[in-house]
Amino acid sequence: MKSIVYTFAILLVTLISCEGDQGPMGDVGPPGPEGPPGVDGGILLPQVFEVEVDFLAENDYALLFVFPEEIEVFESDLVVAYHFAGVDNGVDIWEAMPHLVYFSTGIISYSFDHTFLDINFYIDGNVDLGTLDDEFTLNNLFRVAIIPAEFLSNNEGMNISQYIKEYETQKIKSYELQ
């Protein structure tokens, strides 16, 4: 009896899953609703540029680079920077900042901070910066990327007390294994 049921089930699945030839094309339906208006001027792309910096005692081992007028930056935009680390097989190597360099006597950090008006590059560390070789202080090349973004207009999903409440209700019981 079981073999008859299994045979019937396999036959039924085989018949249902088979597909025949493509049928004729149906009539074209009505057009869908018009989408929301787009932004004039097309797609917003990130802006990328490079800045060469000499870190000297006279400038406190820092450089404040003011964004030129042709580079438009908003408070909500993301600003990221990379430090040029060299070339490998003809390809530039860029390291994300902050970028740490380790010495036997300590550590230096190439870092940055920014506003929507400027970006400040600087070296910090636990070594005497005046003793660094020129390769660490002169002709440092940085690549800056400004990525367009906008703040969320509705932050309801960002309420930490809601998150904690949800977390507490979904807490998984834990058992100690012996």
CATH number of the domain bearing residue 61? 2.60.40
Question: Does the residue 112 lie in any domain?
Answer: yes
Rg (CA), the chain: 30
| Mean model confidence pLDDT for the chain | 85
Question: Does the residue 74 lie in any domain?
Answer: yes
14's enclosing H/E stretch is helix 2-17
How many domains does the chain fold into? Answer: 1
Question: Does the residue 164 lie in any domain?
Answer: no
Question: Does the residue 31 lie in any domain?
Answer: no
Band the pLDDT of 58: cuts 50, 70, 90: very high
Q: Look at residue 95 and give its three-state secondary structure.
A: strand
Question: Does the residue 158 lie in any domain?
Answer: no
Question: Does the residue 83 lie in any domain?
Answer: yes
Question: Does the residue 136 lie in any domain?
Answer: yes
pLDDT of amino acid 156:
60
Q: Which domain holds residue 131?
A: 47-147
Please tell me whether the overall predicted TM-score, pTM, comes out greater than 0.85 for this model. no
